[in-house]
């Protein structure tokens, strides 16, 4: 009986011992886990603390440098204050001088305002003059361009004039004599000479070409131009004959054989279209007036 009790007691003791060991192990495990958690937390805190200390040290260095600058500024300020104190010690102003200086200051301000207004006025004038200068410069450039164009045109005209002069020197013009203009009315299809303006239906122009033994078989063209009392060109059958800008009444072609030749030709006009007055006959060759005469119509 005692043996069984001892065995039972030993089992109880053993079980209790095992329970105690298990409890110790469990407590140790939880303690170890908490320790690891605390160690991780402390590591984080340590790194944050190191970072803060590093920033604090940099801030301390910055403040130290700033303090040195402030010390320098403070020293400069002290010196400036001392200079002002020395200056104040040398000042001997009074109220009267202060008033004088204020009055002088007001005058200077008024003068400054006047100068400022004058300066603004001059600036406006300068801007206007600058604009006018730009416009004038543009006009000068345009005028230079036009001048160059005119110079080129003038050079071209001179060249043409030289060519025309050379041609005129080379060209031999007809020698015309006895130019005569007259009027005719028609009766039964035949022209009858008359000087009554209201009945005239044709005007005739005649001229004598002088002989020239040095010229033979040369074709020539002359132009008859009848001018009324108002110096307007009288047209042939209401048709305009214009050559190089000149208006004529009739174109006459002739073959000059070197001997004296009488040339006559008519222009036709509406009956009753002429008025009494002095009429003119001009004879041209290549725009050159060679002969002219006047005749009267009543």
Closest-CA residue to 285 (of 178, 157, 171, 163): 171
Do residues 223 and 267 touch, judged by C-beta distance below 8 A?
A: no
**159-180 tens-digit pLDDT:** 877 776 665 555 667 788 889 9
Dihedral sign for Cα 17, 20, 22, 25, please: negative
**33-58 tens-digit pLDDT:** 776 777 777 677 667 766 766 776 77
Contacts of 193 (CB under 8 A, 6+ apart): 182, 183, 184
**219-272 tens-digit pLDDT:** 888 898 999 998 888 888 877 788 888 889 888 888 877 778 888 998 888 888
**121-155 tens-digit pLDDT:** 888 877 888 888 788 788 878 877 777 787 788 78
* C-alpha–C-alpha distance, residues 144 and 27, integer Å: 112
Average pLDDT over the chain, rounded to whole? 77
How far is CA 233 from each of CA 87, 180, 220, 241, 295, rounded to the nearest angstrom?
Answer: 106, 17, 23, 10, 15
How far is CA 161 from each of CA 167, 189, 284, rounded to the nearest angstrom?
Answer: 10, 48, 20
Confidence band for 184, pLDDT divided at 50, 70 and 90: very high
Can you tell me whether residue 298 is helix, strand or coil?
A: coil
Has residue 88 got a pLDDT over 60? no
Q: What's the whole-number mean pLDDT along residues 182-195?
A: 88
Do residues 246 and 287 touch, judged by C-beta distance below 8 A?
A: yes
Contacts of 206 (CB under 8 A, 6+ apart): 178, 179, 180, 181, 182, 262, 263, 264
Q: What are the DSSP calls for 24-44, one per residue?
A: HHHHHHHHHHHHHHHHHHHHH
* C-alpha–C-alpha distance, residues 214 and 282, integer Å: 26
């Amino acid at each position: 009986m005692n043996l069984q009790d001892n065995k039972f007691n030993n089992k109880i003791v053993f079980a209790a011992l095992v329970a105690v060991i298990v409890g110790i192990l469990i407590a140790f495990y939880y303690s170890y886990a908490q320790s690891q958690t605390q160690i991780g937390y402390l590591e984080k805190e340590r790194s944050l603390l190191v970072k803060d200390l590093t920033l604090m040290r940099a801030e301390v260095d910055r403040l130290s440098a700033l303090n040195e600058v402030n010390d320098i500024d403070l020293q400069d300020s002290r010196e400036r204050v001392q200079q002002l104190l020395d200056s104040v010690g040398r000042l001997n102003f009074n109220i009267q001088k202060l008033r004088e200086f204020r009055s002088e200051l007001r005058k200077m301000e008024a003068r400054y305002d006047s100068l400022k207004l004058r300066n603004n006025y001059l600036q406006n004038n300068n801007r206007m003059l600058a604009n006018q200068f730009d416009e004038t410069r543009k006009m000068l450039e345009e005028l230079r361009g036009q001048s160059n164009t005119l110079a080129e045109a003038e050079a071209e005209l001179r060249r043409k004039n030289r060519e025309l002069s050379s041609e005129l020197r080379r060209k031999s013009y007809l020698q015309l004599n006895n130019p005569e203009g007259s009027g005719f009315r028609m009766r039964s299809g035949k022209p009858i000479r008359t000087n009554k303006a209201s009945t005239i239906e044709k005007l005739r122009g005649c001229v004598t070409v002088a002989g020239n033994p040095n010229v033979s078989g040369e074709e020539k063209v002359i132009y008859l131009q009848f001018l009324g009392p108002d110096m307007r060109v009288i047209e042939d059958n209401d048709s305009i004959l214009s050559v190089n800008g000149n208006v004529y009444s009739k174109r006459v072609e002739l073959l000059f054989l070197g001997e004296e030749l009488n040339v006559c030709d008519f222009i036709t006009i509406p009956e009753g279209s002429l008025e009494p007055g002095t009429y003119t006959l001009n004879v041209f060759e290549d725009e050159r007036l060679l002969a002219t005469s006047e005749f009267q119509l009543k």
